[in-house]
């Protein structure tokens, strides 16, 4: 057994069973070991950003980390943007980064670079085994560290959806090819860090009191149990309930108590929180603007609103705390929610921002996993259009690093092969990690991508106005426009091996979406959206 | 005038006239300023790795840096792999990375990350202006630093092709939108660092002496003047002359003295250097293997060969030193080289590794810029097939971070609009930065890409054997194989707006290559290569 096999077997002992890989020479021993250990599923990704995004999507759905297999510093660099999103999602991810043999590093050969420095920008935990005997324990520690943000390693996704971290294990090639020590056994994640017990009494008094209160919930609180507790509180006390704009994972749809996301724009949040005297954070951070704008505040809590940190953003069980609070102010179960029909789309209309989501919402299959990188096209339309759809989970763009959608969809589909995945993908962002479509085809994943083609970096057009730049002239507009030439996503998907069609009307989208969902394997529908 | 305009005008004052941009909110002031300063050409790239690779290609051809415009940490991260290649090529590049407003950074908003840490992995120079008055001087210093590796800022590409560095200027959004100070004037690059004058006498004695000698030349020494000096030395003394496998830029073709690249594989280099008693480095580094292999040396200089550092790899004029050495051992001009016909391809053969380069070599237009990311398909075939082609320049994969070809081709075409660009692009690598094809289409660049489709990570198949893994089984093979499904690069290019055709025989490749070269704008030819 060589070191790479020690590593692989230790991953398996620690319930890491999928490896999203873009290997190079320094990782060939690990690749070779896959043949001897079919329990580890190696998934080829044709760009490292696909591998890291897929690992994020996989772990958001299972609560367990996948491994990535990355080649040296440039390979890790290509995966950093989606690791940034994973870090913001609190997803457990274990990166295995191959390095040159130690005798070789001093030679400064062409691919040599600062792996540790790149890893430090996204990782909570970084280690390099230094002897064969280290490989097993360090690998087990990497997995435990990825799961150590206060959540048990029991695979209960409702508890663990968004409470991990990125670990990076850097393995020199000579350790991989050298004689390995025995693999390490399962190492439990570290127990939750000790945090003060939530002040349920004080919070219950606030919530039940006379002043307007809002809850801002994130993390595991956005699963069905947390939402039901929040709904009980809301119903009994009139407390408003919000979640972040694009949480890592949130449950939605018919029978699930609705939760209102804070708007992407500061002005929207100001309206939502107007008059709120107490903002109670439940596994969430205080809301801040994505970007600063001249003369506007970055913190979105209105002046005069007091912020209460009821449950810290990691370290205590959000669901338990919410339930305890609900039991205090609203004992008894939640009354059944009224059954409402999903919004019905109007047929035979040209597709535009205002109507595409109605089609998706009406046809969304039960237990769909919705990967939402719709950005401008979905930020005002998706939540109302899917509020009464069949129950589903939504995975959001946590770190705002674009190019997450296609890979996260692949990872989620591998995590949950029995569930349909619907990827709502903006056009400009899709190009960052387009080859994730090929991985969807290779693995025959049931992913239906609705590619929202508005032929622009639409969000940047809005931003250009907001930062107070002069009116955009032709040179500025040229940098925000995805036309000249128009990108043909139907051709791009076909080139990647994913069957694709183009829709320009609500009827076409409905027909193609239904057909795609009914046909095994990945599909892409290019929805051509009319300018507003 | 706001700070972004101060920055932009300072770039122009310092002869930076092209900006490869993938902007976001923090860079919108710079985007807006482009309308007021048409002397700065903004080129939209749909992925940051395209922007950084294009800047590399531009500077390899002009000797002057382009700017990149990148959005926060994840934007920089996406550009790191091609900045790694630029660093290895000693290319001058000036990154402008927008950061959050300083009041906003403490809020840890979703896109916040460690920009400085990521920049440090590739940059020789990093600075953040702290006041409006800093913006101009810091911008001028960034350009000067990018050009400061010992080469004058006179735009003489024959002298400056490969002797720069990566500078990164990180600009907070509030400085961009705030009132700007006057732009800074031109700041000359720092003078060459003082290095010992080359020991011409001692080197001449070695070269003219009885023991076998080889020169290893890199950097500006691979331009026509350097190669002619080397050829004089070679002819007069029998000295062998080599260059690195994939140099940043090398002149080749009819009338240009040939130089032999060291092989990619250590075994090949061992043969090339067998019996050499003195290896003289001329602007080059001692040859090392790209990767370590069990039980094999990493340094490729054979035992018994003495290494002499005649000209350090930066800091002294390589061409001047070579010329002085030639004048000492071989006075007088180089005799005219015999005119030889380019290798003639055999028509009507199925395309394979052994014949595609003959087609390209026979039809290569005069003064072509050949961007070589052919990797496995070209490493043994391209140099012999193009030795007697029309004279041309070849830009190589310096840092082995794949995904360089398409962007470097775009940048080279913008640098030299009067020259045809031929991009020889391996299939797996093309997927890393595929959207560079769209930039070629948007900018109407005369780039002909020959996409070498062998449907595999072919180099990794070889590497798997070399590292001594067990024979590859199905799981390992699945990670090295680009089939199932086959990727259709003709469809992918079409989707990006680049006309594309598919060639399966030498005759088809010849026809399509000629047509593409004769037709303005970018084209892609997908060469389907038969397995060996």
Contacts of A511 (CB under 8 A, 6+ apart): A503
State chain B's mean pLDDT as an integer. Answer: 93
Q: Is the pLDDT of residue B314 over 80?
A: no
CA-atom Rg of chain B in angstroms: 23
**Chain segment A473-488, per-residue pLDDT in tens:** 899 999 999 999 999 9
Q: B294 to chain A: which residues are within 8 Å by CB?
A: 174, 177
Confidence of residue B389 (pLDDT cuts 50, 70, 90): very high
Confidence of residue A531 (pLDDT cuts 50, 70, 90): confident
**Chain segment A155-190, per-residue pLDDT in tens:** 343 333 347 999 999 999 999 999 999 999 999 886
Q: Is the pLDDT of residue B304 over 60?
A: yes
% of chain A surpassing 90 pLDDT? 85
Q: Do A104 and B486 touch (CB under 8 A)?
A: no
Q: Which of B140, B131, B139 is nearest to B179 (CA)?
A: B131
Distance, in Å, from the CA atom of B358 to the CA atom of B342, rounded to the nearest integer, reads: 8
Q: Which of B487, B517, B490, B486 is nearest to B501 (CA)?
A: B490
CA of A300, closest CA in chain B: separation in Å? 11
Q: Which of A73, A79, A220, A255 is nearest to A149 (CA)?
A: A220
CA of B160, closest CA in chain A: separation in Å? 21
The residue among A24, A31, A289, A298 with the most chain B CBs within 10 A of its CB, best to mutate, is A31
Q: Is the pLDDT of residue B160 over 70?
A: no
Q: Could you check whether the bond before residue A485 is cis, i.e. omega within 30 degrees of 0?
A: yes
Q: Is the pLDDT of residue B261 over 70?
A: yes
Distance, in Å, from the CA atom of B16 to the CA atom of B147, rounded to the nearest integer, reads: 12
Q: For position A315, what pLDDT does the model report?
A: 58
Q: Is the pLDDT of residue B152 over 80?
A: no
**Chain segment B220-251, per-residue pLDDT in tens:** 899 999 999 999 999 999 999 999 999 999 99
Question: What spatial distance separates the first Cα and last Cα of chain A, rounded to whole Å?
Answer: 62
CA of A80, closest CA in chain B: separation in Å? 6
Token couple for A392: 């589903």
Q: For position B187, what pLDDT does the model report?
A: 94
DSSP string, B179-197: BPPPPP---PPPPPPP-PP
Complex confidence, ipTM? 0.96
Q: For position A343, what pLDDT does the model report?
A: 79
DSSP string, B457-489: -HHHHHHHHHTTPPPP-HHHHHTTB--SSPP-H
Query: What distances in angstroms separate CA A93 from CA A38, A209, A220, one per listed residue?
Result: 21, 42, 17
% of chain A surpassing 70 pLDDT? 94
Q: What angle do CA A252, A258, A263 make, to 5 degrees?
A: 95
Distance, in Å, from the CA atom of A334 to the CA atom of A228, rounded to the nearest integer, reads: 7
Q: Strand, helix or coil at A305?
A: coil
Q: Could you check whether the bond before residue B287 is cis, i.e. omega within 30 degrees of 0?
A: no
State chain A's mean pLDDT as an integer. Answer: 93
Confidence of residue B472 (pLDDT cuts 50, 70, 90): confident
CA of B323, closest CA in chain A: separation in Å? 28
Q: For position A157, what pLDDT does the model report?
A: 37
Q: Which of A246, A184, A460 is nearest to B26 (CA)?
A: A460
Give the chain B residue nearest A473 (alpha carbons): B35
Kindly report which listed range (A66-80, A99-113, A423-437, B150-164) carries the lowest average pLDDT score. B150-164
Confidence of residue A268 (pLDDT cuts 50, 70, 90): very high
Which residues in A172-210 are b (16+ Cβ under 10 Å) and which e? bbbbbbbebbebbeebebeebeeeeebeeeebbebbbee
Confidence of residue B178 (pLDDT cuts 50, 70, 90): very high
Q: For position B459, what pLDDT does the model report?
A: 84
Q: Are B251 and B225 in contact (CB under 8 A)?
A: no
Confidence of residue B191 (pLDDT cuts 50, 70, 90): low
**Chain segment B396-424, per-residue pLDDT in tens:** 999 999 999 999 999 999 999 999 999 99
CA of A25, closest CA in chain B: separation in Å? 6
Q: Do B487 and A475 touch (CB under 8 A)?
A: no
CA of B342, closest CA in chain A: separation in Å? 32
Contacts of B418 (CB under 8 A, 6+ apart): none
Q: Is the pLDDT of residue B206 over 70?
A: yes
Q: Is the pLDDT of residue B197 over 80?
A: no
Q: For position A469, what pLDDT does the model report?
A: 54
Q: B474 to chain A: which residues are within 8 Å by CB?
A: 35
Q: A78 to chain B: which residues are within 8 Å by CB?
A: 49, 78, 80-81, 403, 432
Give the chain B residue nearest A120 (alpha carbons): B117
Q: Do A467 and B111 touch (CB under 8 A)?
A: no
Higher per-residue pLDDT: A467 or B341 = B341
Q: B438 to chain A: which residues are within 8 Å by CB?
A: 431, 485, 487
> How many CB pairs below 8 A link A and B?
307
Give the chain B residue nearest A288 (alpha carbons): B109
Q: Can you give the pTM of this predicted structure?
A: 0.97
Confidence of residue B313 (pLDDT cuts 50, 70, 90): confident
CA of A472, closest CA in chain B: separation in Å? 6
**Chain segment B475-493, per-residue pLDDT in tens:** 999 999 999 999 999 999 9
Q: For position A68, what pLDDT does the model report?
A: 98
Give the chain B residue nearest A76 (alpha carbons): B81
Q: For position A13, what pLDDT does the model report?
A: 98
Phi-psi region of A383 (alpha: psi -120 to 50; beta: other; left: phi over 0): alpha
The residue among B72, B79, B400 with the most chain A CBs within 10 A of its CB, best to mutate, is B400
Q: Residue B104: which of A121, A292, A469 has the nearest Cβ?
A: A292
Q: For position B151, what pLDDT does the model report?
A: 45
Q: Residue A173: which of B36, B38, B292 has the nearest Cβ?
A: B292
Confidence of residue B155 (pLDDT cuts 50, 70, 90): very low
Kindly report which listed range (A267-276, B152-161, B294-303) carries the lowest average pLDDT score. B152-161
The residue among A292, A301, A470 with the most chain B CBs within 10 A of its CB, best to mutate, is A292
**Chain segment A350-397, per-residue pLDDT in tens:** 999 999 999 999 999 999 999 999 999 999 999 999 999 999 999 999
Give the chain A residue nearest B40 (alpha carbons): A475
The residue among B113, B439, B499 with the most chain A CBs within 10 A of its CB, best to mutate, is B113
- What's the rounded mean pLDDT across residues A411-422? 98
Q: Using CA of residue A511, residue A513, residue A514, residue A518, what is the dihedral sign?
A: positive
The residue among A8, A23, A74 with the most chain B CBs within 10 A of its CB, best to mutate, is A74
Confidence of residue A464 (pLDDT cuts 50, 70, 90): confident
Q: A177 to chain B: which residues are within 8 Å by CB?
A: 294, 467-468
Q: Which of B243, B190, B513, B508 is nearest to B361 (CA)?
A: B513
Confidence of residue A520 (pLDDT cuts 50, 70, 90): very high
**Chain segment A43-52, per-residue pLDDT in tens:** 999 999 999 9
Give the chain A residue nearest B299 (alpha carbons): A107
Contacts of B453 (CB under 8 A, 6+ apart): B427, B487, B489, B526, B527, B528, B529
Q: For position B391, what pLDDT does the model report?
A: 97
Confidence of residue B532 (pLDDT cuts 50, 70, 90): low
Beta strands in A57-117 (DSSP E): 67-71, 93-99
Q: For position A450, what pLDDT does the model report?
A: 98
- What's the rounded mean pLDDT across residues A193-221? 88
Q: For position A151, what pLDDT does the model report?
A: 44
**Chain segment B21-60, per-residue pLDDT in tens:** 999 999 999 999 999 999 999 999 999 999 999 999 999 9
Contacts of B338 (CB under 8 A, 6+ apart): none
Give the chain A residue nearest B400 (alpha carbons): A111
% of chain B surpassing 90 pLDDT? 85
Q: B298 to chain A: which residues are within 8 Å by CB?
A: 101, 103-104, 107, 109
Q: For position B156, what pLDDT does the model report?
A: 41
Give the chain B residue nearest A400 (alpha carbons): B111
Confidence of residue A195 (pLDDT cuts 50, 70, 90): low
Give the chain A residue nearest B428 (alpha carbons): A46
CA of B202, closest CA in chain A: separation in Å? 27
Confidence of residue A465 (pLDDT cuts 50, 70, 90): confident
Q: Residue B398: which of A26, A110, A299 has the nearest Cβ?
A: A110
Token couple for B363: 């039809």
Q: A502 to chain B: which residues are within 8 Å by CB?
A: none
Q: Which of B118, B46, B73 is nearest to B406 (CA)?
A: B46
The residue among A41, A491, A500 with the most chain B CBs within 10 A of its CB, best to mutate, is A491
Confidence of residue B154 (pLDDT cuts 50, 70, 90): very low
Q: Which of A85, A102, A78, A83 is nearest to A94 (CA)?
A: A83
Q: Are B410 and B447 in contact (CB under 8 A)?
A: yes
Q: A24 to chain B: which residues are within 8 Å by CB?
A: 460, 463
């Amino acid at each position: 057994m060589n070191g790479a096999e020690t590593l692989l077997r230790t991953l398996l002992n620690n319930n890491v069973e999928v490896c999203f890989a873009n290997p190079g020479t320094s990782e060939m021993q690990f690749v070779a070991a896959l043949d001897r250990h079919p329990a580890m599923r190696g998934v080829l990704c044709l760009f490292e950003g696909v591998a890291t995004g897929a690992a994020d999507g996989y772990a958001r759905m299972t609560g367990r980390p996948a491994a990535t297999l990355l080649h040296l510093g440039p390979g890790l660099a290509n995966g950093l943007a989606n690791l940034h999103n994973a870090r913001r999602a609190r997803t457990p991810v274990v990166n295995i980064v191959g390095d040159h043999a130690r005798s070789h590093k001093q030679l400064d050969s062409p691919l040599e670079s600062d792996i540790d420095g790149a890893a430090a920008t996204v990782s909570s935990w970084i280690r390099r085994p230094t002897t064969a005997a280290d490989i097993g324990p360090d690998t087990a520690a990497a997995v435990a560290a990825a799961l150590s943000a206060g959540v048990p390693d029991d695979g209960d996704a409702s508890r663990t959806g968004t409470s991990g971290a990125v670990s990076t294990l850097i393995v020199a090639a000579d350790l991989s090819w050298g004689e390995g020590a025995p693999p390490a056994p399962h190492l439990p994640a570290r127990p939750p860090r000790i945090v003060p017990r939530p002040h349920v009494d004080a919070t219950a008094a606030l919530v039940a009191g006379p002043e307007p209160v809002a809850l801002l919930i994130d993390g595991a609180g956005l699963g069905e149990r947390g939402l039901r507790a929040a709904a009980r509180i809301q119903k009994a006390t009139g407390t408003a309930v919000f979640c972040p704009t694009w949480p890592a994972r949130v449950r939605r749809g018919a029978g699930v108590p609705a939760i209102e996301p804070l708007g992407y724009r500061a002005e929207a949040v100001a309206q939502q929180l107007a008059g709120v005297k107490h903002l109670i954070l439940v596994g969430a951070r205080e809301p801040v603007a994505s970007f600063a704008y001249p003369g506007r505040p970055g913190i979105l809590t209105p002046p005069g609103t007091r912020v209460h940190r009821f449950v810290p953003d990691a370290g205590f069980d959000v669901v338990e705390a919410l339930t305890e609070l609900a039991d205090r102010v609203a004992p008894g179960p939640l009354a059944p929610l009224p059954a409402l029909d999903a919004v019905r789309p109007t047929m035979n209309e040209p597709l535009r921002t205002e109507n595409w989501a109605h089609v998706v919402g009406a046809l969304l299959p039960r237990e769909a996993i919705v990967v939402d990188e719709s950005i401008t096209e979905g930020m005002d339309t998706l939540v109302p259009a899917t509020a009464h759809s069949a129950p589903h989970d939504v995975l959001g763009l946590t770190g705002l690093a674009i190019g997450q959608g296609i890979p996260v969809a692949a990872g989620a589909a591998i995590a949950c092969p029995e569930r349909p995945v619907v990827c709502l993908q903006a056009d400009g962002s899709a190009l960052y990690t387009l080859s994730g479509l090929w991985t969807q085809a290779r693995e025959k994943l049931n992913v239906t991508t609705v590619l929202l083609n508005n032929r622009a970096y639409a969000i940047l057009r809005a931003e250009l106005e907001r930062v107070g730049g002069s009116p955009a002239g032709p040179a500025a507009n040229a940098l925000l426009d995805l036309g000249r030439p128009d990108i043909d996503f139907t051709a791009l998907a076909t080139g990647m091996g994913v069957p694709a069609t183009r829709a320009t009307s609500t009827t076409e989208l409905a027909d193609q979406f239904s057909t795609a969902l009914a046909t095994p394997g990945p599909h892409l529908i290019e929805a051509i959206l009319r300018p507003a």
